Structure 1
Amino acid sequence: MSRPLSRPIKKDVLPSALKPLKPVLFSESTSTRLVPNIRSLSWSPTGSLIATCTSSNIRIWNPERPNVKSSTEIRNGHSAIAGGSGAVVEKVVFCPTTENVLASTGHDGGVRLWDVRVPSGAVGAGKGTALADVKIGDPCLFLTWHPNGREMLVGTKEDAIDSVDVRRMTEHDSTNSKWAIESTERIPPAKSSSPRYYAMAFSNSGREVFATTGDGPVKILDYPTMTPLHTLTAHTYATYSVQHSPRGDYLAVGGGDSTITLWDTYNWHCVHALTAHTSAIRDLSFSFDGAYLICGSGSDFKEGEKGIEIYHADTGDVAHTIDTGNAVTVAQWHPYRYWVAYAGDAGGMKIVGPGGNV
């Protein structure tokens, strides 16, 4: 499944490598003036696919084929779980170990696993195949895969966290070869005096969970016991996003105070506070080599400032800025290349990198 990594690019060379590359538009509509509300982006483990979700629909793109006819659409993907019309999909995340398996969750209170390969000759070909459903119950805000690709944590609006083991599946619809994950473990909601969780991310080893909170501190929890190990305090408002560097040396935290903090994971000191933004930081992504960091700022393309600042993790400097027409809501690095996918501009998702040699 793996493919060769791009050649590492030094900070002083990065601008000359990225500046000539033009963003490639991936649009579902013939109108490129409207700004779709793309709520989530996710690259597959090899970067050969990228998934987006807009309202109740999910679409899987080939990053080297921007024509919508080359994509796979999953329309109203959570209607069966919701028991009615399509529910809003809040998050899509590819399994980190299996190229074609995608997990989605949303306001219907369910999680669904998909095989995004186009079914050959099957009914509904080109719409993806639902593999399994998980009924959480409460509207879901986020999900995160364990690095082993077999477990997930799902967070709800009621501040409960469910642990889902995708290996515990039982068949409930043999006609459509669909399975239900019957066994989940609910982690009790935080006490009234405890902070609300907005996002979680596993450490690279999977032995720890990093949890952002409504009052600012980031909790480091043991997994799977979820016992508190340590607390990182630097933000004055809620923290919304957290990511562990692929190298393991930094933890990035994004907050409602428009600040990104970078923490040295060896001594847990805040080594950089990145303050170039004017709105909440809700999405973070490290490059495959851990050298560079980007973010999505704000929940709406009208919030925040235009452009994608590419930070150099070791120095905290802005190494390069990708020009955009609007504020960027979500942004993600390719898992093996210096390609950047982002949403917020008119028309749909854009990717900087295809056609280049980075």
Structure 2
Amino acid sequence: MASKQPDRRLIHKDRFNYVFGSLKTQNYQDPVARGPGSHTIRTLAWNPTGQLIATGSANRTLRIWNPERANARYSTELRGHTAGIEKVVFNPVRDAELASCSSDGTVRFWDVRSKTCVSKLDVGGEAFTLSWSADGRVVMVGRKDDTLVPVSVESASTPTIAIHNGTSSSSSVPLAEQQKSPSTYTILPPHPQNTQTNATTFSYHIPTPSAPDLDLLATTGDGTVRIFSYPSFNLQHTLNAHSSACLALALAPTGRYLAVGGSDALISLWDTTDWVCRRTVSSEGGGTIRGVSWSFDGRFLCGSSEEVGPNGLEIFHAETGDSVHKIPATAGVPAVAWHPTRYWLAYSLMAEGSNAGGLRIVGAAGGGL
């Protein structure tokens, strides 16, 4: 796995609880929420620079927030999907390009600056997950019928943004010129799988003439993670990760570890050099792990679960497996996402009863770290 090293002041794990615990939490409420539970945010994604965060909800609302301004009037609603939003992901090398998928059977690509849908693709079934390759040229769509559908993304312009060593750098191509050269999106042949297939992610490898293939990792319902070579879809490895379904996965920004979340309430950490499980972490009384996210330095991770235990949302230190901080939560946490360059943590709460749900960002209020 290729490595992306962070370049920012780090917090020692023994001080993490004190430092992170001193940060304030900002609340963001969707103004168009209607009905109990209908506006639960299912998915979160930061753009590469961390200047925007996208949220997708059960009530079809796709919204782009400015984390510095909690009032919804500073946000942008992107309309078009006719069913709940299942996943949102920003292009890792173009900070204004967003992909979203929905159970309406479509994947939509958006220019968040112009607030427009630049492409709508019918992927032939209910889409519930997405992942983007590190070079921004492939999006992998997962359908609920356990079919993976690649989408080729071609752009005539140099990427807007690139993240290297934990910092961002701008393209030399003027923004106005980039917008004149929109991307083109092409659905490639689908690849049905012979087992329940859940989340996917790509390795950080950038294709070269001498090493053109990518690693595509997929969690499955039989407790394994399958590692394919893309675009051939040849199976390279199978990790026997959990005793029950694996639902979520995420590579650390350093590329050193793969975190896998399962329905057994565990997160397993795999060394990507030899594919050995180094440790597992879990929250007391926690439930099925629906998502996992790494801090920008690859040292801390957090999992999301719709069945939150007495510890609420728990943050772990990857190297030791120690629990370093707990965030109280009065409801389930469907989605969680660390900021790409700061110790900010975004998460959503289930909307139920008197709880209004919505987006929370630890660190956004008062500047953070």
Q: 1:26 to 1:6 in 2, by over 3 A?
A: farther
Matched letter for residue 134 of structure 2? P
Which one of the candidate residues 59, 63, 69 is aligned to 1:59?
63
Which one of the candidate residues 329, 334, 345 is aligned to 2:339?
334
1:316-327 pair list within 5 angstroms:
316-327=321-332
1:101-180 pair list within 5 angstroms:
101-117=97-113, 119=114, 128-167=115-154
Q: Answer with 330-339 or 200-209: which moved more.
A: 200-209
Q: Secondary structure at the match of 1:183?
A: strand
1:184-203 pair list within 5 angstroms:
184-190=187-193, 194-203=194-203
- Looking at structure 2, the residues matched to 15 and 92 of structure 1 have their Cα atoms a distance apart, in angstroms, of 30
Which one of the candidate residues 20, 24, 35 is aligned to 1:18?
20
Q: 1:72: which partner in 2?
A: 76
Q: 1:276 to 1:303 in 2, by over 3 A?
A: closer
Q: TM-score, normalised by structure 1?
A: 0.85
Shift of 1:32: 12
- Looking at structure 2, the residues matched to 147 and 178 of structure 1 have their Cα atoms a distance apart, in angstroms, of 20
Q: 1:314: which partner in 2?
A: 319
Shift of 1:56: 1.0
Q: TM-score, normalised by structure 2?
A: 0.82
Which one of the candidate residues 287, 290, 296 is aligned to 1:279?
287
Q: Answer with 327-336 or 32-41: which moved more.
A: 32-41
Aligned length: 325
Shift of 1:61: 0.3
Q: Secondary structure at the match of 1:12?
A: helix
Matched letter for residue 330 of structure 1? A
- Looking at structure 1, the residues matched to 309 and 14 of structure 2 have their Cα atoms a distance apart, in angstroms, of 27
Matched letter for residue 97 of structure 2? V
Q: 2:173: which partner in 1?
A: none
Q: 1:227: which partner in 2?
A: 234
- Residue pair 2:23, 2:368 contacting (<8 A) in 1 also: no
Deviations 1:70-118 (A, max 9, x none): 100123x22xxxxxxx22221111111111111011112111110111x
- Looking at structure 1, the residues matched to 228 and 84 of structure 2 have their Cα atoms a distance apart, in angstroms, of 30
Matched letter for residue 351 of structure 1? I
Give yes or no for the alignment of 1:350 onto 2:360: yes
- Looking at structure 2, the residues matched to 182 and 135 of structure 1 have their Cα atoms a distance apart, in angstroms, of 11
Shift of 1:53: 1.0
- Looking at structure 2, the residues matched to 141 and 178 of structure 1 have their Cα atoms a distance apart, in angstroms, of 29
Which one of the candidate residues 14, 38, 43 is aligned to 1:40?
43
Shift of 1:58: 0.5
Q: 1:60 to 1:5 in 2, by over 3 A?
A: farther
Q: 2:167: which partner in 1?
A: none
1:205-224 pair list within 5 angstroms:
205=205, 207-224=214-231
- Looking at structure 1, the residues matched to 329 and 36 of structure 2 have their Cα atoms a distance apart, in angstroms, of 15
Q: Secondary structure at the match of 2:188?
A: strand
Q: Answer with 328-337 or 159-168: which moved more.
A: 159-168
- Looking at structure 2, the residues matched to 150 and 73 of structure 1 have their Cα atoms a distance apart, in angstroms, of 26
- Looking at structure 1, the residues matched to 17 and 276 of structure 2 have their Cα atoms a distance apart, in angstroms, of 29
Deviations 1:170-223 (A, max 9, x none): xxxxxxx99895632223312xxx321111011121521111001111111112
- Residue pair 2:154, 2:185 contacting (<8 A) in 1 also: no
Shift of 1:137: 1.6
- Residue pair 2:105, 2:124 contacting (<8 A) in 1 also: yes
- Looking at structure 2, the residues matched to 150 and 161 of structure 1 have their Cα atoms a distance apart, in angstroms, of 16
Q: Secondary structure at the match of 1:46?
A: coil
Identity of aligned residues (%): 41
Q: Can you give the 5+ residue segments of structure 1 that lack an aligned partner in the other structure?
A: 79-85, 120-127, 170-176
Q: 1:123: which partner in 2?
A: none
Runs of 4+ in 1 over 4 A off after TM superposition: 30-35, 177-182, 302-306
- Residue pair 2:63, 2:78 contacting (<8 A) in 1 also: yes
Q: 2:171: which partner in 1?
A: none
- The alignment's C-alpha RMSD in Å is 2.4
Q: 1:291: which partner in 2?
A: 299
